[in-house]
Structure 1
Amino acid sequence: MADIPLSLYLHFPWCVRKCPYCDFNSHTLRAEIPEQAYVDALLRDLDFELTETPEPRPLQSIFMGGGTPSLFSAEAIGRLLDAIARRLNFAPDIEITLEANPGTAEAGHFPGYRSAGVNRISMGFQSLDDDMLKRLGRIHGRQEALRAFELARRAGFDNINIDLMYALPDQTARQASADLAAAIALAPEHLSYYQLTLEPNTEFGLRPPPLPDDDTAWAMQEGGVERLASAGYRQYEISAYAQAGRKARHNVNYWTFGDYLGIGAGAHAKRSISTASGLNITRRARHKHPRTYMERSGTAASVQEQHAVPEKDRPFEFLMNALRLNRGFEVELYRQHTGTDWNPTDPAVLSAIEQGWLSTSPTHVRATAQGLNYLNALLGLFLNGAPS
């Protein structure tokens, strides 16, 4: 589908240590990383994906996430990106992001990543308070985080995101405010500011730490929005804030129901294919365990799950992502990405408007400020059938 943008997600599954709140597909490193073998597996996987369904669209973005991609050498990242460029066309302004853990930011890594073609770094600070970092099980401290940021700047990176969490164990509103102020003082181009949530099957989920109450967490969120706005960061998604022209294009493509190839252990993918009978949308996920993934890479056996997205489910999947954006979405985009027309007289739409959660025009739909605050309730209106 020429109208639907295409991105590429690459998953690197290893971490020095598993954080107690993390429910991503990450595995504690118990030996040396098999860099060469894993990059080879990624490329076999990509070749299989493209042989099965050739892809003429240029890549708008590449995101290397994890796990901890910064455990890999600059040479490995460079070899990977060069090989991808031989297989897929890159948009002239392609965004190439690499997630970096400050605790694994070697002095020589950032210049090498820059030379390899990475043009955006996403740093997982989570906090700049040493006590909070210990509570979160992080392997870095405040000074390591500040040093990593400085090294990335020296290497020439002019597009850096900082991940920062609030409502941490026993955190006060004053501590959260000080944390955010310290991050803003670094002047990153982008900030992801989000609340710690307790996920099932994590250490925190099984043994919950004492967290701030709902009122305190709400005050942290509201205070954070105000502080970020006053510092020139525009909120464009529930937890994403950017300086002018610095939105994360990879994430925006995801939130607007764009397509993305997913390569690597546990990676997820979504692709849309036009056929004579209409639009076919397929989701698939790779095997999560690195060894299993590497053994099966390049074959259909590397895919653990795959399903076609039924036409009736597409509108809700679209809304579940697009309504997170402050700007909402264009009605035409809804049609292009779901294959159905937006129905402004649908009972769920009328109910959302009546409750002050949704704003619509003939060409545009967005959640109001109140709707963003009560997004789960807003989406609940569409659970039994989105407008079509």
Structure 2
Amino acid sequence: MKRPTRKCCWKVFLRCLLFCVFLLCMIYICKVGIYPRRCDVRAVDPDHVKRAKSFAKRVIRAECRPNFARTAMGDLFGSRYSTNMSVFLRKQDLSETLYQYSPPFGFPRYTELLEDILTMMPEDGLPKRLESKSCKRCIVIGSGGILRGLQLGSVVDQYDIVIRLNNAPVTGHAQDVGNRTTIRMTYPEGAPASKEEYFVDGLFLTVIFKHADILWLQALLKNETLSAWNKLFFWKSVVERLPLKPNQIRIVNPLVVKETSLDILRYPAPRHKRWGWEKNVPTIGVSALVLATHLCDEVSLAGFGYDLSQPDASLHYFDNLCMNAMNLQPMHDITEEKKLLQTLVKGGIVKDLSGGIHCAFCSEHQSEA
């Protein structure tokens, strides 16, 4: 057998080196992010603010209808929507056969690890003060720039359950988004770094997207440091400590994400790909909204509605990123999600307080904003 020459070995070494450099560059790009454009904050029409506040007050003052959201979702989607699903993962939910897909749609290979984690989490439901309410109102607060200047904070704080997403801040924005957080629904990379965004009576609800997310949660609960190797599997740095007690931490039942994606949105089932992603992973926001219909009797939303036709509009209420930054993300089908949200809002199942999905308080020519 002919031995490889020094020249051949050198070529192989160079190829491996170039591949490693390329891989490191990709990791750096993912961790730093590429959002070259910044958008100026636009003034909000005072009359529009008045209409939005008036509409929101009418919604919160209306009579709460027990089981309304679950019943309406069941009527709309039939067998594609479960009317008796637990939104928080419990020990009794862990089953290899129940979770046939990998995260975020299931945990087929991690049941033992999750059982250990759930043992460290003494509670798996809503706090008793909320669970005992005969009719609960939820509002899911998105991160959309449409919230800036609407002054909906005082109405948001009147909801029984306020669900916030990822690292969207309350501090400095309470007038627009309120100052209460009942549930912070996020994943490791999205968890707020500021301790001010965690509340002594709030829940931290984790969405598991990958094996490293489970290890991160385990390290948090054990007050341990995540290994340098495991940190490589996150696209940005993650918090290593949370100012919370174990009884404040929950895990999203992956069947909520599966139901949102494969059943309601009818995305294709997950399949192995050598490169890139299929757009079958729903955003945290849409998953949170479906979760809210299981958790609460009446559901509202605010801060939703990415309008890709206005690339220079503000993406978030808390920064100056432009709407066109959404074109850089490869995982979510924003167009299909908006169609779903429009169906829910126009059908009266969910109320849109900020008007980004369907504006019930806008003038006629703005009603499809």
The reply to whether TM is greater than 0.5 is no
Q: TM-score, normalised by structure 2?
A: 0.34
Higher strand share: 1
For the pair shown, the structure with the greater C-alpha radius of gyration is 2
Higher relative contact order at CA 8 Å, sep ≥6: structure 1 or structure 2? 2
